[in-house]
Amino acid sequence: MTSAESTVPPIREWVVDTRTLWPLVGKEVRDSLRNKWFILYTVAFVILSVGVAYLSQVGTGFAGLAGFGKTAASLVNLTLLVVPLMGVTMGALSLSAERDRGMLAYVLAQPVTRTEVFIAKFFGQSFAFVATIAIGFGVSAALLARHASADGALFLTLAGLSMLLALSMLAIGMLIGTLVRRPGAAMGVSIFVWLCLTLLGDLGMMGASTLLSLQVDQMLFMSFANPTQVFKLASIASFDSTLDLLGPAGLYAVQTFGDWLFPLLIGLLVAWVFVPAILAWALFVRRPL
């Protein structure tokens, strides 16, 4: 068999049998909940979420809706820092670490297809991440409900956006895990990607706008190429429909897209979930272990 032929998966690798899939999903959920990194991320996110909610309310003297607005902004910043790191690193290690230990080869030696294994890993870790975010936001909401007039709909919106961000970064991490075989290298690449998307995102855009003399519309469309920036835009739009906080770029976005801006941002976040996940799946099915 030639090398070109060996990269073409047999048709059976594309098949999904739900009788096989759901037990695999359950296994991945249990593995995620037992993973020491996942436990560490979960505990850190919950503690930080509660701490941010409490300190924000103390700083405003439990000042009702005004206090809640400050808390929401603080939770957005916390999510931008922690959730992408959690998603991209766990996604990368979910494939590279199991491949390195030989567990992936063992699972694929069973009567399962690669598509079933990939979907199970994505669904299992997605469930775990959604649960983590739900716990963090839920405990924070309970704290706010005791001391402030919290906007429940806005809080649910922020939680939903955070979940979409987590899934998008999980998909990017799994794409890294299919491309980088060694877990140490995969972890390094995922942290580098996290730095580029989060910590260097705003600085990079500011530098690019200065060096390249970018216009406001070009800056806005550049931000669409970064899921963390899309999340930030959507979060701010959820409690400030004018986007005054973003200056000229925010005003341009509102003037250009109007009432369609928030649905557009949601669609972009969903695309950031599916596009990397589909690419990772295609590579996982085709590439040898």
Q: In this predicted structure, what is the pLDDT of residue 65?
A: 40
d(CA 274, CA 289): 23
* Backbone torsions φ then ψ of 283, nearest 5 degrees: -70, -40
pLDDT in tens, 27-44: 899 988 888 888 888 888
Q: How confident is the model at residue 62 (pLDDT cuts 50, 70, 90)?
A: very low
pLDDT of 148 strictly over 80:
no
Under 8 Å CB-to-CB from 6, ≥6 apart: which residues?
Answer: 288
Q: Are 24 and 116 in contact (CB under 8 A)?
A: yes
Q: Output the CA torsion 193→122→43→135 (10° steps).
A: 120
Of 1-15, 109-123, 172-186, the one with minimum mean pLDDT is: 1-15
Q: Are 58 and 146 in contact (CB under 8 A)?
A: no
Among candidates 157, 128, 130, which has minimal Cα distance to 68?
157
pLDDT in tens, 94-136: 999 888 888 888 988 888 999 999 999 999 999 999 998 998 8
Q: In this predicted structure, what is the pLDDT of residue 269?
A: 96
State what percent of residues in the chain have pLDDT above 90: 34
d(CA 88, CA 193): 8
DSSP 287: S
Number of helices followed by number of strands (H, E) in the chain: 13, 0
Q: How confident is the model at residue 181 (pLDDT cuts 50, 70, 90)?
A: confident
pLDDT of 241 strictly over 70:
no
The stretch 64-88 carries a mean pLDDT of: 78
Among candidates 209, 289, 277, 212, which has minimal Cα distance to 249?
209
CA 20 centroid distance within chain = 27
pLDDT of 64 strictly over 50:
no
CA quadruple 177, 178, 180, 183: dihedral sign: positive
State what percent of residues in the chain have pLDDT above 70: 80
Q: In this predicted structure, what is the pLDDT of residue 66?
A: 42
Q: Are 28 and 123 in contact (CB under 8 A)?
A: yes
pLDDT in tens, 120-129: 999 999 999 9
The stretch 66-80 carries a mean pLDDT of: 75
d(CA 234, CA 230): 6
What DSSP assignment string belongs to 110-163? SS--HHHHHHHHHHHHHHHHHHHHHHHHHHHHHHHHHHS---HHHHHHHHHHHH
Q: In this predicted structure, what is the pLDDT of residue 191?
A: 94
pLDDT in tens, 246-289: 666 667 777 888 888 899 999 999 999 999 999 999 999 988 77
d(CA 232, CA 246): 10
More confident residue, 137 or 68: 137
- Domain boundary assignment for the chain: 3-286
- Amino acid at site 266: I
DSSP 14: G
Under 8 Å CB-to-CB from 196, ≥6 apart: which residues?
Answer: 204
Q: In this predicted structure, what is the pLDDT of residue 211?
A: 74
pLDDT of 69 strictly over 90:
no
Whole-number mean pLDDT of the chain? 82
pLDDT of 13 strictly over 80:
no
Of 121-130, 156-165, 217-226, 239-248, the one with minimum mean pLDDT is: 239-248
Q: In this predicted structure, what is the pLDDT of residue 114?
A: 92
